[in-house]
Chain A
Amino acid sequence: MAYQFDFAPVLQQADLLLRGAWFTLELTVIGTLFGVGLGVVGAVLRAWRIRPFDRLFGVYVELIRNTPFLVQLFFIFFGLPSLGIRLSEWQAAVLAMVVNLGAYSTEIIRAGIQAIPRGQLEAAAALAMNRFEAFRYVVLRPALATVWPALSSQIVIVMLGSAVCSQIAAEELSFAANFIQSRNFRAFETYLLTTLLYLSMALLLRQVLAWAGRRLVVRRG
Chain B
Amino acid sequence: MDFTFWDIARNLLVGLQWTLLLSLLAFVCGGLIGLLLLTARIAPQPALRGFARIYIEVFQGTPLLMQLFLVFFGVALLGIDVSPWLAAALSLTLFTSAFLAEIWRGCVEAIPRGQWEASASLALNRFEQLRYVILPQALRIAVPPTVGFSVQVVKGTAVTSIIGFAELTKTGGMLANATFKPFLVYGLVALGYFLLCYPLSLSARYLERRLHVTA
Contact = CB atoms under 8 A, between A and B. Distances in A.
A191 B70 contact: yes
Interface residue SS majority, chain A: helix
Given A1-B78, A71-B158, A195 B66 contact: yes
B73 A70 contact: no
B159 interface: yes
A198 B73 contact: no
A18 B58 CA distance: 20
B189 interface: yes
Interface in A166-221: 166-167, 174, 177, 187-188, 191-192, 194-195, 198-199, 202-203
Contacts of B186: 71, 74-75, 78-79
A74 B169 contact: yes
A106 interface: no
Contacts of A65: 151, 197, 201
Contact of B197 (A67, A174, A177): A67
Nearest to A165: B65
Interface string B195-215: 001100100000000000000
Contacts of B70: 188, 191-192, 195
Nearest to B161: A70
Interface stretch (A43-51, A87-95, A116-124, A156-164): A156-164
Q: Report, as a range, how many residues of chain A touch the other chain.
A: 35 or more
Interface string A56-70: 000000110111111
Q: Report, as a range, how many residues of chain B touch the other chain.
A: 35 or more
A67 B61 contact: no
Interface residue SS majority, chain B: helix
Contacts of A67: 155, 190, 193-194, 197
Contact of A66 (B156, B185, B189, B198): B198
A174 B187 contact: no
Given A69-B155, A78-B176, A188-B70, A198 B63 contact: yes
A78 B181 CA distance: 9
A180 B179 CA distance: 32
Nearest to B168: A71
B73 A188 contact: yes
A174 B163 CA distance: 14
A126 interface: no
Contacts of A160: 61-64
Given A62-B198, A71-B158, A71-B169, A163 B74 contact: no
B61 A72 contact: no
Contact of B193 (A66, A163, A191, A202): A66
A195 B193 contact: no
A66 B197 CA distance: 5
Contacts of B157: 68
B153 to A, nearest CB: 11
Contacts of A1: 77-79
Nearest to B198: A66
Contacts of A63: 190, 194
A12 interface: no
A83 interface: yes
